[in-house]
Structure 1
């Protein structure tokens, strides 16, 4: 094995970590009679040659040797086949060369399609499918194997590979349709339905949707990391989500699609919430809180009671937070009880995915002035974790200025909201905070005293250090930050759209200029397909300006009216989806322009 390995100029090739001169040693390790040595060799090869899906020039050169290992290696063919699949299915500048190299090695590997180990037979199919059109000459082999194969999992993979490679759609569809009328294994049936749904026109046929839900119940495999080419293959769940009515139909028949429906489509929360609460577990509460934030709410939630009285403090905190988002009767009473029974947990507990959201701020956000009893409890028992809610209740904060000063810098925004009423002691404390470099204290000092000089001095230094926080903070000063314009103007030419848009918003707040700031904000909105906080800020700023540049209008129309989500939050902390705020801002912008 590995004959000719030293004839290749490995040092002139690259893999994920640089020069590939170490690849021969990795390949030799993969040939080791010692199982642990082989394992290390294959781990190193996988990390270097197929790093997170990327392939390299060294990957191309290694393919013939990986094929040798699959045929003759002491550890068997499985791990080399996985690497060959990674090479054929990878991405990067060399992906076509990799695919060609693997397809050229395939003929010598075809005997493994009859290997005694079914996992080996499956891996060969994955490699064939990953080569896509280069594997078309192998269709007769796959058809022959279909007639011979008896294992349900291998037949399912065979059917998928045939479906992806078949050049005659009617032949492919007839094969899969016929299987639905026969007694076949559950995985083969699921593969047949997946194959049919992949190319079925929208809206998806109800009979196929029902069959898909039944097949999923019989074979609920996790396809999160499937081995098939992404450009052609569609997971069963993913395809159903292309049609919200089909996805809801399948969810009502037991498929776990309810949460994913709300992540993909707007205005489906009222249909999905009963599905989520029908068999709720503690881990579902944050999702229910997010969905509940977008429905009218206000009803009873008997299913929530066991979580509200749970002996687990974390579960009680998240359950109370969920009650707030659902606006259940006496939600504020539940918050007050939690503040009394579990003050430390209510203030500081972090439960994933409920990480930054807290019960007390959420109660004020959801109930507004009606949450004054909660704010009064905060004022009576000040904590750094709760103090921010008093910005919305300045009359409660005014009686606790001395205590608020002791909580600086956390209480700076609250003192700033009081303005001159905070008094000279607060002003002195805030000035000390500004001198120590605390930007919120500096901004609050300007509001309390009307003198922005301390804030301007601090922000000028921060801007020279390229601080994004300082750019946004300068905008909060408005015209009082005019002296910072020479330091801010260069940010309009920064490399990232987010930096330029943030600078444009700040400069407009200081000067009222729209000629050179509105176009920057418009480009920020128009250039990105995945909307998040910077785009939302740009939408709000253009709304305040009362202008909508032409280049941004198509994107704003999409954000305002798309039936699909345009903001896709990576994590769920129970707060409303960013898509809700984006749509509202886009609609407001269209209304004022």
Structure 2
């Protein structure tokens, strides 16, 4: 199986970490009798030779040896090798489902497109290997083979015949699920071409979705039908799925599987240990949810069915699936959120932790679970503070979720935490979400701020959340403590500018009560905190002549920081006509290469000049092309009142959209849901005004 391996000039080939001279050892490691060596070798294959899906010349050179390894019965863990080969073959053509991975890039590295194409061609040339593996004695190999067959054997009739045959003789339930997945992939690949075999595959899936087949196979077939032939789904889809899920759970051996041992600390090992306890059930329902996509009412109903299952593993899977729905869709979530809250009392630690993790991200949408959260933090003090092995303690997830939801019952619990010997550094960050309900906490927050060391290594971590909280409460009595911090921090203090900026923003909020800070603010106009200082000084004095030149400089000053031009434009916009001298620079900034800068500058021009015609195209383009700018633009339109009418249509359309505004922007931020809900609140201002007037 390694014939010719030493004839390859591996040293001249490359992978993610440079020379590929270590690859022969990795290939031999995949065939080792030592499980730890095999796992380490596979981990290294993914970490270097096929790093993040990239295909290098060394990856291509590995394909013949990997194919040879896959068919040698004496080699252990061959399923992992087959999965590696499928991954090297690239993502599913035609933009496969999100649950199948891949970003559609077709590989990476230098000349990646050509190398990926050549790798795919090599796998298609060796596809007879996967025909043999479809009937392998190792069930794990048989589970990995169907997708490889569909992907690489370019004979549709032969592929369909093999899958049909394997379904009739297979006795391993997990392999049957993989065969159903292979059928679905086959149908999605060939339906667009009009191939008659695709219709046969759909017919076979429909047959597998009904009796007398077992519940797991029926669930798998329904998930694949939803992706390729949704018109064939039963009218009572949700009740059917919930019933099948419970039948499956009843057949499964109850209790958790034996935990994975510590094993080797490899990427593959860590990922395996992070898999759901019921990975099969998770995949079945995740596939169905993904296929249902925008059928939000069905998905919510399905989640509620999952969350009321007698089986804790089903409920745990549902909690994690709900997170994906909430992040992407503006669904009516009250019922599933309340059911997630009910999981907080579960004895299973994994289920409890999953519920907490999801609720913390929901902010105000977590209110239907507030009773459960309050009951937990009231009777279980250990959930109020999270002590970490490294770093400062933080608020416990249940208390953080309750406060972020804006529930006033968090206030007395936070007061108890504030009175304790250890105060989490992030406590102040949840105060703004409680609004005036947190007012009773102001004296304790003020005392804490007065005790923050001015030269401590953790001054930033301690001071900034407290300053944010006191600013949110508008606590003017804290001015002396804020000024103490502002005036007393030594030069060179770590993150000094961040602390100064937070202090300055607080002073701007306190208004006339902070007038004694005016000299301090003037002194900061030539520092890194100039934008914040100018904003606060304007709030306290209304002196446009003092602040506009500073802000104008920050619009054009080289090296002023990635975000500061947009911040300066925001402040200039709030000054309104008093900032007319900045209009030429702001108009130039509407052509910036940064979307955030274009949007901020266009909004500022509109608010200062009151002439939207020149900036409307900029704002409309930014709204559509860069969803992250929508909060800025909507805030501008709302602030203009009737003058914002030229863009009211965008706000109305946003309110009608079922999808969250950043769901397609790539990446994920834990504040995405909260930001989207904030955008909707701003957008509602316009119809509310129009309806009232």
Bin of the TM-score, shorter chain as denominator length: 0.7 to 0.9
TM, length-normalised to structure 1: 0.79
Superposition map of 1:278-297 within 5 A: 278-281=342-345, 283=353, 284-285=355-356, 287-288=358-359, 293-294=364-365
Residue 138 of structure 1 corresponds to which residue in structure 2? 159
Between the aligned partners of 1:372 and 1:33, the Cα distance in structure 2 is 66
Go from structure 1 to structure 2 and tell me whether the alpha carbon gap of 1:115 and 1:322 turns closer, same or farther (over 3 Å shift): closer
Which stretch has the larger CA shift, 463-472 or 430-439? Answer: 430-439
Q: Does 1:500 align with 2:598?
A: yes
Residue 354 of structure 1 corresponds to which residue in structure 2? none
Residue 218 of structure 2 corresponds to which residue in structure 1? 189
SS at match of 2:279: coil
Q: CA deviation at 1:525?
A: 0.8
SS at match of 1:154: helix
Aligned equivalent of 2:376, options 302, 306, 315: 306
Go from structure 1 to structure 2 and tell me whether the alpha carbon gap of 1:14 and 1:241 turns closer, same or farther (over 3 Å shift): same
Go from structure 1 to structure 2 and tell me whether the alpha carbon gap of 1:273 and 1:203 turns closer, same or farther (over 3 Å shift): farther
Are the equivalent residues in 2 in contact too, given 1:434–1:455 (CA < 8 A)?
no
SS at match of 1:139: helix
Q: CA deviation at 1:252?
A: 3.2
Q: Does 1:359 align with 2:433?
A: no
Residue 528 of structure 2 corresponds to which residue in structure 1? 437
Residue 253 of structure 1 corresponds to which residue in structure 2? 305
Are the equivalent residues in 2 in contact too, given 1:125–1:161 (CA < 8 A)?
yes
Residue 48 of structure 1 corresponds to which residue in structure 2? 48
Cα RMSD of the aligned pairs, angstroms, is: 4.3
Larger RCO, structure (CA 8 Å, separation 6 or more): 1
Go from structure 1 to structure 2 and tell me whether the alpha carbon gap of 1:56 and 1:132 turns closer, same or farther (over 3 Å shift): farther
Which stretch has the larger CA shift, 476-485 or 439-448? Answer: 476-485
Superposition map of 1:512-531 within 5 A: 512=610, 514-528=612-626, 531=627
Q: CA deviation at 1:187?
A: 3.4
SS at match of 1:116: coil
Between the aligned partners of 1:251 and 1:107, the Cα distance in structure 2 is 42
Residue 334 of structure 1 corresponds to which residue in structure 2? 412
Residue 222 of structure 1 corresponds to which residue in structure 2? 279
Q: Does 1:238 align with 2:290?
A: yes
Go from structure 1 to structure 2 and tell me whether the alpha carbon gap of 1:202 and 1:186 turns closer, same or farther (over 3 Å shift): closer
SS at match of 2:344: coil
Q: Does 1:87 align with 2:185?
A: no
Q: CA deviation at 1:322?
A: 4.2
Are the equivalent residues in 2 in contact too, given 1:501–1:520 (CA < 8 A)?
yes
Are the equivalent residues in 2 in contact too, given 1:15–1:56 (CA < 8 A)?
yes
Are the equivalent residues in 2 in contact too, given 1:335–1:374 (CA < 8 A)?
no
Q: Does 1:559 align with 2:669?
A: no
Between the aligned partners of 1:13 and 1:319, the Cα distance in structure 2 is 52
- In the alignment, structure 1 segments of 5+ residues that lack a partner are 351-356
Superposition map of 1:188-207 within 5 A: 188-201=217-230, 205-207=234-236
Which stretch has the larger CA shift, 22-31 or 444-453? Answer: 22-31
Between the aligned partners of 2:278 and 2:56, the Cα distance in structure 1 is 32
Between the aligned partners of 1:561 and 1:258, the Cα distance in structure 2 is 22
SS at match of 1:52: helix
Q: Does 1:470 align with 2:564?
A: yes
Between the aligned partners of 1:300 and 1:78, the Cα distance in structure 2 is 45
Between the aligned partners of 2:366 and 2:168, the Cα distance in structure 1 is 53
Output one character per residue of 1:298-341: Cα deviation in whole Å (capped at 9) or x when no partner. Answer: x982673132231213278654554455565x627525643653
- In the alignment, structure 2 segments of 5+ residues that lack a partner are 92-105, 108-112, 188-195, 250-276, 308-317, 346-351, 387-394, 451-462, 487-499
Are the equivalent residues in 1 in contact too, given 2:548–2:582 (CA < 8 A)?
no
Between the aligned partners of 1:42 and 1:317, the Cα distance in structure 2 is 37
Between the aligned partners of 1:253 and 1:393, the Cα distance in structure 2 is 41
Go from structure 1 to structure 2 and tell me whether the alpha carbon gap of 1:36 and 1:577 turns closer, same or farther (over 3 Å shift): closer
Superposition map of 1:371-450 within 5 A: 371-375=438-442, 378=445, 382=449, 384=463, 385-391=465-471, 396-397=475-476, 399-408=477-486, 409=500, 410-419=502-511, 421-424=513-516, 426-439=517-530, 440-449=532-541, 450=543
Are the equivalent residues in 2 in contact too, given 1:13–1:20 (CA < 8 A)?
yes
TM, length-normalised to structure 2: 0.69
Between the aligned partners of 1:306 and 1:36, the Cα distance in structure 2 is 42
Q: CA deviation at 1:442?
A: 4.4
Go from structure 1 to structure 2 and tell me whether the alpha carbon gap of 1:25 and 1:254 turns closer, same or farther (over 3 Å shift): closer
Aligned equivalent of 1:210, options 234, 239, 243: 239
Q: Does 1:577 align with 2:651?
A: no
Between the aligned partners of 1:18 and 1:225, the Cα distance in structure 2 is 38
Between the aligned partners of 1:286 and 1:214, the Cα distance in structure 2 is 28
Between the aligned partners of 1:343 and 1:203, the Cα distance in structure 2 is 62
Q: CA deviation at 1:494?
A: 3.3
Aligned equivalent of 2:333, options 224, 247, 269: 269
Q: CA deviation at 1:149?
A: 1.7
Q: CA deviation at 1:58?
A: 4.5
Go from structure 1 to structure 2 and tell me whether the alpha carbon gap of 1:99 and 1:453 turns closer, same or farther (over 3 Å shift): same
Superposition map of 1:58-69 within 5 A: 58-69=58-69
Are the equivalent residues in 1 in contact too, given 2:45–2:51 (CA < 8 A)?
no
SS at match of 1:266: coil
Between the aligned partners of 2:233 and 2:166, the Cα distance in structure 1 is 31
Go from structure 1 to structure 2 and tell me whether the alpha carbon gap of 1:405 and 1:143 turns closer, same or farther (over 3 Å shift): same
Are the equivalent residues in 1 in contact too, given 2:160–2:197 (CA < 8 A)?
no
Go from structure 1 to structure 2 and tell me whether the alpha carbon gap of 1:163 and 1:239 turns closer, same or farther (over 3 Å shift): closer
Between the aligned partners of 1:239 and 1:154, the Cα distance in structure 2 is 21
Residue 489 of structure 2 corresponds to which residue in structure 1? none
Between the aligned partners of 1:236 and 1:41, the Cα distance in structure 2 is 34
